[in-house]
Amino acid sequence: IVQGCAGMRIYPPLYLQKLRKLCDEYGVLLIADEIATGFGRTGKMFACNHAGITPDIMTISKALTGGYLPMAIVCTTDKIYDAFYDDYNKGKQFMHSHTYAGNPIGCATALAVLKIMKEEKILEHAAEKATYFHNALMDTFGAHKNIGEIRHIGLINAMELVTDKDKKVGFDGNLRIGYEIYKKALTHGLLLRPLGNVIYFNPPLNIENKDLDKAIALAKQSMDEVLK
Ligand SMILES: *Cc1c(COP(=O)(O)O)cnc(C)c1O
């Protein structure tokens, strides 16, 4: 659903539904890499929930522990799991393991995060914040002559920096304009992430509206200073 660090491009869930169908038709396993998108990042628990599909394999990490401890999991359907499961002497098993597999502190942290997500209704609150944030961004940057588009899903908002708003022409890559704005924003205490001509916001799901306002104001200030 979200292309991630290759440009924060967002595609319609229908594509994923069609992909699932084609994979089933040709017997291809569908892997959903939900490492960046899982646990509410796109507004639903998992990005593939937008399409209502189930992958055969799913990778999860990052927000699984709220980013506080390293923990990654590969989930599979029972069919795949069973394909590697048998008595030891059959030699059928997938002999692969990780030094720190099933690390108890990582697992405890992941469980604590899931508990907090449920108890504090993080997803519901994040949905309200997502609407607030995108509207506020549109108010500030929607008409900005150097913003060609503000793509968004959940709390992710990616702004495309352009020299020509109508023709959607990007800045010369050599100018590294996103990186310049990122550096300027850092001096004001705001951490943005630049990807070429894209600047994006990816705030914590429990961020306060006043902090979102502050981020927008500082981003505007930084952008104006760099682009003036
Ligand atoms: C961060 C990231 C990874 C790498 O995850 P690790 O747990 O560090 O292996 C893979 N895919 C996506 C989409 C990511 O954002």
Q: Which residues, 6+ apart, have CB-to-CB distance to 183 below 8 Å?
A: none
Q: What is the pTM of this model?
A: 0.91
Res. 4 pLDDT band, cuts 50 70 90: confident
72 CB within 6 A, ligand 1 = yes
The whole-chain average pLDDT of the chain stands at 95
**pLDDT of the residue at 44:** 96
- Note the pLDDT of residue 207: 96
Instruction: Please tell me if the CB atom of residue 35 comes closer than 6 angstroms to any atom of ligand 1.
Output: yes
- Within the chain, all domains assigned CATH 3.40.640.10 are found at 13-119
Statement: residue 95 has pLDDT above 80: no
pLDDT bracket for residue 136 (50, 70, 90)? very high
122-227 maps to CATH 3.90.1150.10: yes
Take atom 10 of ligand 1 and give the residue whose Cα is closest: 35
Residues 105-128: tens digit of each pLDDT: 999 999 999 999 999 999 999 999
- Is the shortest distance between the CB of 33 and ligand 1 below 6 Å? yes
Q: Is 4 in the pocket of ligand 1 (CB under 6 A)?
A: yes
pLDDT in tens, 137-194: 999 999 999 999 999 999 999 999 999 999 999 999 999 999 999 999 999 999 998 9
pLDDT of residue 7: 87
Nearest atom (ligand 1) to Cα of 36: 15
Closest ligand 1 atom, residue 4 Cα: 13
CATH 3.90.1150.10, the chain: domain bounds? 122-227
Distance 34 CA to ligand 1 centre (A): 8
> For the stretch 37-76, what's the b/e string if a residue is b when 16 or more beta carbons lie within 10 angstroms of its beta carbon?
bbbbbbbbebbbbbbebebbebebbbbbbbeeeebebeeb
Q: Answer yes or no: is pLDDT of 218 > 80.
A: yes
Highest mean pLDDT: which range of 80-84, 91-95, 132-136 = 132-136
Distance (Å, rounded) from C-alpha 156 to C-alpha 103? 30
Which residue has the CA at smallest separation from atom 3 of ligand 1? 35
Question: Residue 55 C-alpha to ligand 1 middle, in angstroms?
Answer: 17
34 CA: nearest ligand 1 atom: 13
Out of 3.40.50.620, 3.10.20.70, 3.40.640.10, 3.30.428.10, which CATH number does the structure's domain 13-119 have? 3.40.640.10
Distance of alpha carbon 88 from alpha carbon 14, whole angstroms:
43
